[in-house]
């Protein structure tokens, strides 16, 4: 077991990549806490993960909610060994249609929510702690309609280096996993019509050198590598898991 008795907080752990990672971390011996906002998905995650996983409603757009959750986890488990700051969402829109509200909304969750998760959790993390964040292949590939999502992820990529440098003297590592297109409910929440979605999916698939969408579990396995001692000399790095999309 790679995470025996480790306390692991996973944001966006009620769906897709976060949910698969929660299952894997639990199977590797971790005490797992997952967060999300949607009541049905919170309930379904509780059922899927089993009774020993703590499921908390936390809207990451509100730092006070993050603080409350971290206090609850610290009070219950005494520390937080692993943070998988993974929650994210986006609205697709072309340049001319993007509003100030859409920019605020996406940065509020994908960047500020992730930042304050790390800021609030870090004091509860002992030496040897690990922070893993989810960025995206969009960091390095320009994609029409996804400019703001891509910018939030590029900002997060930068943060991994800065916070990694700040926390290294405390023995806490900070790394990113950068997924390519992964088969999760994420795409259905972009605000595209069904026709636009299938057209976009086909276009993306045609571009991926390995010729398929990735599976959430393939990201979970990389998150496990980064959260465990298997990557003990790695910090500030971003591991790309995108079927070659951003490499060739
Ligand atoms: N799927 C892909 O192709 C892909 C590619 C590159 C990067 N990523 C990144 O991977 C991460 C996980 O995405 P996914 O594909 O697993 O998507 P997903 O299945 O839609 O899961 C997103 C998670 O984020 C949570 N979330 C959304 N808004 C939230 C909020 N305001 N506060 C707290 N939690 C919130 C969701 O919970 P609720 O629904 O309960 O709010 C859900 O648990 C995201 O950061 C995404 O940008 C995904």
212: number of Cβ within 10 Å: 11
In whole angstroms, give the CA distance from residue 160 to residue 192: 30
Confidence bin at 169 (pLDDT 50/70/90): very high
Phi then psi dihedrals of residue 154, to 5 deg = -65, -40
* Number of Cβ atoms within 10 Å of the Cβ of 120: 21
- Joined together, the tokens standing for residue 231 give 């990557």
Tokens found for residue 145: 């309609």
Give the torsion sign (CA, 208, 237, 177, 30).
positive
Atom number, ligand 1, closest to the C-alpha of residue 138: 6
Q: Which of 52, 60, 73 is nearest to 106 (CA)?
A: 60
Structural domains in the chain, sorted by start = 7-241 (3.40.50.720)
Q: What would the pLDDT profile of 207-240 be if each residue is shown by its tens digit? A: 999 999 999 999 999 999 999 999 999 999 999 9
Distance 41 CA to ligand 1 centre (A): 12
Q: How far is the CA of 215 from the centre of ligand 1 (A)?
A: 14
Asked if 125 and 225 touch (Cβ cutoff 8 Å), the reply is no
Residues with CB under 6 A from ligand 1: 11-12, 14-18, 35-38, 41, 58-61, 86-89, 109, 134, 136, 179, 181-182, 184-186, 189
- Written as six digits, the tokens of 73 are 């986890």
Q: Given strand 31-36, what is the order of strands in its sheet?
A: 54-57, 31-36, 7-11, 82-85, 130-134, 173-179, 238-241
Read off the pLDDT of each residue in 184-196 and give the average, rounded to a whole number. Answer: 94
pLDDT for the residue numbered 25: 98
Pocket test residue of 20, 36, 105 for ligand 1, highest count of atoms within 8 A of CB: 36
Please give the Cα distance from 197 to 168 (Å, whole number): 41
CA of 117 to the centre of ligand 1 (A): 15
Rounded distance from Cα 121 to ligand 1 centre (Å): 19
Atom 45 (ligand 1) nearest CA: 88
Angle between helices 114-121 and 63-77 (to 10 degrees): 40
How far does residue 88's CA lie from ligand 1's centre (Å)?
A: 4
Angstrom distances, CA of residue 122 to CA of 36, 81, 101: 20, 9, 30
The residues pairing with 132 across neighbouring beta strands, listed in sequence order, are: 84, 175
Distance CA 11, CA 118 (A): 11
- Atom index in ligand 1 nearest the CA of residue 60 equals 32
pLDDT tens sequence across 47-82: 999 889 999 999 999 999 999 999 999 999 999 999
Q: Tokens 């971003």 sit at which residue?
A: 238
Q: How far apart are CA 236 and CA 167, in angstroms?
A: 10
How confident is the model at residue 113, as a pLDDT? 98
Ligand 1 mean position, distance from CA 169 (Å): 31
């Amino acid at each position: 077991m790679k995470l025996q008795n480790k306390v692991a907080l996973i944001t966006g752990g009620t769906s897709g990549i976060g949910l698969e990672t929660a299952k894997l971390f639990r199977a590797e011996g971790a005490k797992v806490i997952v967060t999300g906002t949607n009541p049905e998905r919170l309930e379904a995650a509780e059922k899927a993960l089993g009774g020993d996983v703590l499921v908390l409603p936390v809207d990451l757009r509100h730092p006070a909610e993050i603080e409350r959750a971290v206090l609850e986890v610290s009070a219950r488990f005494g520390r937080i060994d692993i943070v998988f700051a993974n929650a994210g969402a986006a609205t697709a829109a072309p340049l001319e249609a993007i509003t100030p509200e859409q920019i605020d909304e996406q940065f509020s969750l994908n960047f500020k929510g992730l930042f304050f998760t790390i800021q609030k959790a870090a004091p509860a993390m002992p030496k040897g702690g690990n922070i893993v964040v989810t960025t995206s292949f969009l960091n390095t590939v320009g994609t029409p309609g996804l400019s703001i999502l891509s910018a939030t992820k590029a900002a997060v990529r930068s943060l991994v280096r800065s916070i990694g440098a700040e926390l290294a003297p405390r023995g806490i590592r900070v790394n990113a996993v950068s997924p390519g297109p992964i088969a999760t409910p994420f795409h259905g929440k972009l605000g595209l019509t069904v026709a636009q979605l299938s057209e976009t999916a086909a276009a993306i698939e045609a571009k991926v050198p390995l010729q398929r969408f990735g599976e959430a579990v393939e990201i979970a396995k990389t998150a496990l590598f980064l959260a465990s001692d298997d990557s003990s000399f790695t910090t500030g790095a971003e591991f790309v898991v995108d079927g070659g999309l951003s490499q060739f």
